[in-house]
Structure 1
Amino acid sequence: MKEAAELKDPTDHYHAQPLEDNLFEWHFTVRGPPDSDFDGGIYHGRIVLPPEYPMKPPSIILLTANGRFEVGKKICLSISGHHPETWQPSWSIRTALLAIIGFMPTKGEGAIGSLDYTPEERRALAKKSQDFCCEMCGTSMKTALLPLTSGSVSSQADKEAKELARQISFKAEVNSSRRSDAGPSNTSGLSHSAASREPQQDGAARAFPDPASATSEAQSSSAAAGQEHSPAVSSTSTSMSPRQRRAQQQSQRRAPASANFNRAQQPRANTNHTGSTVLIVLLTFALAALIFRRICLANEYVFEL
């Protein structure tokens, strides 16, 4: 409602007001920028505000043929709903009107809702636009705006529209370049993480080596540890009591015995596996022999009958 009050009085360059029964749909009228193919044209359109406005951008739809934007289609601008990432909540309906004026002389470059008519076609449509009358709001282009004057207000509006279009275009280019730069950086980050996983895998292979090599390494390390600690044991054995010496000797005997027991467990496990396989084969043959014998007895019984 505040924006509607600010834009209540039309100017010589733009005017916009919401519909009487819908505050979220506005109808606007803008004058074509001077010194361009749209000079002399007066263009009418719709601005549809989302419920989250001004946190989200509006959708802009032109209703007058102009040769730059398609009629009846949401146009793609850095200030429209197609680019919410470039929208700023501080912008307003007046900002959108100035952006439309500033963007009209720019190239479409295949954007959604954009057209690239020839200058002659755009000039012809500019003259024809003065006879347009909106069927929805009843606005006539001949009386929608104030007569064009050469005052400071008009020149100031033109400068503001051009500067706003330049700023918005620059902002859109900066955001697109940031998104394009984010792609390679992400891929490099992925490659870096993949490269960092390889040393981790190597470390895992070193941490969990082959069981046979692990056993041999454990034996060699225990032997080295025994050699390292043997002088310390001999040096301290003089100060130990006979009972402590016997306990230490028993603990030293138990360590090799447990290592030998672990080494002996592996062949025993293999032997148990082989024995179970042989047992399964024998049971299979026995079951087949019983079935074969039963079939033979059944045949003999049939022959006797």
Structure 2
Amino acid sequence: MHLNIKVLITPTSKMGEKYNIKCPGVKRLMKEALELAEATEEYCARPLEDNLFEWHFTVQGPRGTDFEGGIYHGRILLPKEYPMHPPHIILLTPNGRFEINKKICLSISGHHPETWQPSWSIRTALLALIAFMPTPAEGTIGSLEYTPAERKLLAKKSTSWSCPQCGEIAQLLSSTAAKPLTEEEQSVLNQIAFKGEDEQTPKAPEPEPVQEPEAQVLESSESSTSFLDQLTEILVALLVGAIGIFIYRRWKVYDAVADTEL
């Protein structure tokens, strides 16, 4: 395994002298750098020599997909608040799934701090990236929808791609198998999903029913009219009845007075 030692190194006393190792973010990154010091056949990641908060990584394309055989290189930009805030992930190697030199949208990346968990790590981010390379782009930020043939062609070309800082990326991975996923990591990967921005994937508005509301209005209007008509008929009947009773009583009084006079 070849590494450009001028760019990628493991934490040393020199790194400790540059950063405050009591800082939670620095302490966490130093620990992760030690854990990822040995490259595997699936991935490797190292901090830059002069910047603990910028890492370069290399991942193997997932087997059984359009990316099989491909080797992809990128950058991880970590905020000073790491691990409380998520990292940004940028692909540098053309791949047909993610735009290069652009922060990609993952629920484990800086685009979605609301879903980030401090227990997640750089290794988790790399595993998530590998797992979701073959998933549909669905309009997420930094995503591409290349054809399978185009992605396979880019996978072949990627093996000869060279990073200006790290050198030939094919030399960065090793034959060492990555350690098995823990139950927690598997659970995390099952929960991680790409999230598109609303403006990137607007949902088609559902057609508004036109006739139904009108029918409801007409029905309501007809009901109101029918009720008013019935009420009017009742009032008229009551009024006619009252007039009839009044006339009948007046007639009875008149009749009684007439009988008395006679």
Same fold (TM over 0.5): yes
* TM score, norm. by length of structure 1: 0.51
In structure 2, the residue corresponding to 1:30 is in which secondary structure? strand
Is residue 62 from structure 1 mapped to residue 61 from structure 2 by the alignment? no
Residue among 166, 176, 198 paired with 2:190: 166
Cα distance, 1:161–1:117 mapped onto 2, change above 3 Å: farther
Distance (whole Å) between structure 2 residues aligned to residue 85 and residue 156 of structure 1: 28
State the shift of 1:72 in Å. 0.1
Are the equivalent residues in 2 in contact too, given 1:98–1:160 (CA < 8 A)? no
- Aligned residue number for residue 140 of structure 2: 111
Residue of structure 1 equivalent to 2:161 = 132
Q: CA deviation at 1:156?
A: 4.2
Asked if structure 2 preserves the Cα contact closer than 8 Å seen for 1:102 and 1:162, the reply is: no
- The C-alpha deviation readout for 1:131-182, integer Å capped at 9, x for no partner, is 01110x223122111138xxxx46946x998864432129x79xx9xxxxxx
Percent of pairs with identical residues = 63
Higher helix content, 1 or 2: 1
On the 8 A contact 1:131/1:140 being kept in 2, the answer is: yes
Q: Choose 1 or 2 for highest CA Rg.
A: 1
Kindly indicate whether residue 103 of structure 2 is the aligned counterpart of residue 74 of structure 1.
yes
TM-score (norm 2): 0.59
Q: Is the 8 A contact 1:103 1:165 kept in 2?
A: no
User: For the residues of structure 1 that align with 2:69 and 2:171, how far apart are their CA atoms?
Assistant: 14
> What CA distance in whole angstroms lies between the structure 1 residues aligned with 2:159 and 2:188?
26
Output the CA distance in 1 between the equivalents of 2:158 and 2:31.
Answer: 30
Q: Which residue pairs with 1:38 in the alignment?
A: 67
Q: Kindly tell me: are residues 24 and 155 of structure 1, through their superposed partners in 2, closer, same or farther at Cα, counting changes over 3 Å?
A: closer
CA-CA distance at 1:32 after TM superposition: 0.4
Pick closer, same or farther for the CA change 1:116–1:29 going to 2, 3 Å: same
Residue in structure 2 matching 1:23, options 49, 52, 57? 52
Match of 1:145 in 2: 173
Query: After TM superposition, which residue ranges in structure 1, 4 or more long, deviate above 4 angstroms?
Result: 153-157, 159-164
Aligned length: 167
CA distance in 1, matches of 2:49, 2:60: 24
* Separation in 1, partners of 2:48, 2:116: 24
Which runs of 5 or more residues in structure 1 are unaligned?
Answer: 177-305
